Structure 1
Amino acid sequence: MTQIPRAALILGLAGLIPFLWGAATVLRPDLAAFGQKYMGPRFIGPYVQLFYGSVILSFMSGVLWGFATKASGAQAATGYALSVIPALWAFFMTGGGPTSAALNLIIGFVGLLMLDFSFSRWGLTPPWWMQLRLLLTAIVVACLTITVI
């Protein structure tokens, strides 16, 4: 296994803050009250997780698109087509209330992990990519699960 570059690891972990904060404010009413008072209701509980989760799935579509540029021919076309799925999933599947939206985001992040694995198997990602994606996805799914239950 190749070590994850320090900057990628730190920034990836920093990107978990809205998920962790959202989960914490679901579990701790005192944190939710603090967040609502100083940041507003959009930045607590499931709201911050759902909005940010949609943003991240869309961002990851762009990452996959970038990986697809390393391919050619039919593999590139397949990579481009697959790369838009996370953004479309976030757009179409995050309505209908916080519980169903969080569940659909969980499905979206697990699906994204499968796409990451495919792009990795095709040799389009850095060698450390799956280590990072497994770690980040596990934490994101755990945080969203708190919102679902």
Structure 2
Amino acid sequence: MRNVPTTALLLGLAGLIPFVWGALTYLNPGLANWGASALGPRFVGPYIQLAYGAVILSFMSGVLWGFASKTSGARAAIGYILSVIPALWAFFMTGGGPVSAGTNLIFGFAGLLLLDMAFASWGLAPRWWMPLRLLLTAVVIACLAVGVFL
């Protein structure tokens, strides 16, 4: 993690807050009650995780699109096609209730990590990208698993 730019690391870690908060409020009913009354019911438990998770998968589609723009020809075309998958996954797979949507988000973030690996192996992502993505994805999946498996 030493090679990850400080700003990217801090913003990446800050981006985990809704996932961690959702897991904590799922596990602690008192915190969930406080959060629901102070912030609103959609900002606690799996609800914040699901809404934010769909946003982040869509955001990451844009990041991958940016990586694809660093190349040309067939590789660029493949990169652009692959880059829209996380957003489409979020759009089509996050309905059907919190357990189903949470499970689909877990698969979405795992799939995104595979796409990150592909773009990194093609030399389109910075060298520090994969260590950061591995950390962030592990935390996201662990937090989503709280709502899915507990």
User: What TM-score comes out, normalization by structure 1 length?
Assistant: 0.99
Kindly state the Cα deviation for residue 2 of structure 1 after the two structures are TM-superposed: 6.6
Report the RMSD for the aligned CA atoms in angstroms: 0.9
Q: Distance in 1 between matches of 2:42 and 2:34?
A: 13
The equivalences for 1:1-149 within 5 A come to: 3-149=3-149
Identical counterparts, % of pairs: 70
Q: Which runs of 5+ in 2 are unaligned?
A: none
Contact 1:2 1:127 (8 Å CA) reproduced: no
Count of aligned pairs between the two proteins:
149
Q: Distance in 1 between matches of 2:120 and 2:92?
A: 26
- Whichever residue aligns with residue 108 of structure 1, its letter is G
- Whichever residue aligns with residue 85 of structure 1, its letter is I
Contact 1:12 1:136 (8 Å CA) reproduced: yes
Q: Distance in 2 between matches of 1:139 and 1:89?
A: 20
> Match of 1:124, SS?
coil
Q: Distance in 2 between matches of 1:66 and 1:76?
A: 10
Give every structure 1 segment of 4 or more consecutive aligned residues whose post-TM-superposition deviation is greater than 3 Å.
none
- Whichever residue aligns with residue 145 of structure 1, its letter is A
Q: Distance in 1 between matches of 2:130 and 2:82?
A: 17
1:111-141 deviation digits (Å, cap 9, x = unpaired) = 0000000000000000000000000000000
Kindly state the Cα deviation for residue 41 of structure 1 after the two structures are TM-superposed: 0.3
Q: Which runs of 5+ in 1 are unaligned?
A: none
